[in-house]
Amino acid sequence: MKLGLLGGMFDPIHLGHLRAAEIAREGLGLDQVLFVPAGVPPHRPRPEASALDRFAMVALATAGRPAFVPSDVELGGEGPRYTVETVATLRERQPGAEIVLVVGSDNLPLIAEWREPERLLQMCSVAVVERPGGGPAAAGGIPAGRLHRVEGAALPIASRDLREAIRGGRSVRQLVPEAVADYIEKRSLYR
């Protein structure tokens, strides 16, 4: 099995995340893409929505797409969870799977600064989805055989812009799946 891993805050998940996953799935022939909401991020402020709300939004966004699977692997326990630990856990759970870490071009150069980057790159390869408006990202020291650049038209959407729009009373219905928009409204998130 060829398994993609798309991690992130998903605060909230949006169509750009889904498009990036589909680009990687199609471009690399992935059997599944796991969507892994971050628990306590080690390098960023805490997300605005709770872990439960973010996981629920991921589950709603991926429903009806058999190749997209929500995962709560990072949501248990105290303290930060690092990508290297997540990949190690997934390798234990699915020992025969080939794991491909899917990242946006903005995160590619940062991998060298992540916890245990050498160990991480021994356990998985990296697929980079280029962000709209940017040139090709530097490989960040990732060996050529471990890096896959996938072609496709990613969407220029950022979760922080969606949160600001919601706080400003503007609709985000054309930027997130309908079920996610309904969930945000019902739970009064990002107000």
Q: Which residues of the chain have pLDDT under 70?
A: 132-140
- Please state, in angstroms and rounded to a whole number, the distance separating the CA atoms of residues 29 and 1: 10
**Is 2-156 a domain of CATH 3.40.50.620?**
yes
pLDDT value of position 139:
67
pLDDT value of position 14:
98
pLDDT value of position 172:
98
For residue 162, which of 151, 149, 176 has the smallest C-alpha distance?
A: 176
- Tell me the one-letter amino acid at 153: A
Task: Give the containing element (helix H, strand E) for 100.
Answer: strand 98-104
The structural domains of the chain, with segments of one domain joined by +, span 2-156
Which residues have CB under 8 Å from 27's CB, separation 6+? 127, 148, 150, 151, 152
Question: Global pTM?
Answer: 0.93
pLDDT value of position 137:
61
pLDDT value of position 76:
79
Structure tokens at 47: 């997300």
- Please state, in angstroms and rounded to a whole number, the distance separating the CA atoms of residues 150 and 78: 35
pLDDT value of position 179:
98
pLDDT value of position 138:
63
Structure tokens at 99: 């794991």
Q: What is the pLDDT of residues 83-136, one digit of tens each?
A: 999 999 999 999 999 999 999 888 888 899 999 999 999 999 999 998 766 656
